[in-house]
């Protein structure tokens, strides 16, 4: 039996995206100070955009709007994937932190893609 989803807060993908946001904030805290207004800032904006767009789409209450905002969240996830890789290659985080964060991001991305596909084919 599935409990009724009444809010974006009930969505597992939103919950995991918030957890991902916390992980990225913790990661970027350790970046060099010179990165505060560049890569660090871009990563934080991208990661916060993911759960924010999920929430906004869910609040719109129409399938078309919801799918549109899920696509925006998915785009932000793709942007963050690139930024994580750059941060790792620049040595701004350990391999372990990169792998853990990237794994969570991959999970969120797969969940977003699955929801988008399901809503796009549902009648």
The whole-number pLDDT of residue 61 equals 76
pLDDT-derived band at 52 (thresholds 50, 70, 90) equals very high
pLDDT at position 110:
98
Superfamily, domain 9-121 = 23S rRNA-intervening sequence (1.20.1440.60)
Residue 14 CB partners (closer than 8 Å, separation 6+): 8, 51, 54, 55, 58
Range 7-19 average pLDDT: 96
> Which residues, in sequence order, are CB contacts of 13 under 8 Å at separation 6+?
54, 108, 111, 112, 115
pTM for the predicted model, two decimal places: 0.93
Domain ranges of the chain: 9-121
Mean pLDDT of 36-49: 96
Using only the alpha carbons of the chain, give its radius of gyration: 15
Q: For 57-109, what is each residue's pLDDT tens digit?
A: 999 879 999 999 999 999 999 999 999 999 999 999 999 999 999 999 999 99
Residue found under tokens 């799918």: 67
Check residue 73 and give its pLDDT: 98
């Amino acid at each position: 039996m599935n409990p009724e989803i009444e809010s974006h807060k009930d969505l597992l993908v939103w919950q995991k995206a918030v957890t991902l946001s916390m992980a990225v904030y913790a990661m970027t805290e350790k970046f060099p100070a010179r990165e505060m207004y560049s890569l660090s800032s871009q990563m934080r904006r991208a990661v916060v955009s993911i759960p924010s767009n999920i929430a906004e789409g869910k609040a719109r209450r129409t399938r078309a709007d919801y799918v549109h905002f899920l696509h925006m969240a998915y785009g932000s996830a793709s942007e963050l994937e690139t930024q994580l890789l750059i941060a790792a290659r620049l040595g701004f985080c350990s391999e372990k932190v990169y792998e853990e964060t990237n794994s969570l991001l991959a999970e969120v991305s797969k969940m977003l893609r699955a929801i988008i596909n399901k809503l796009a084919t549902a009648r």
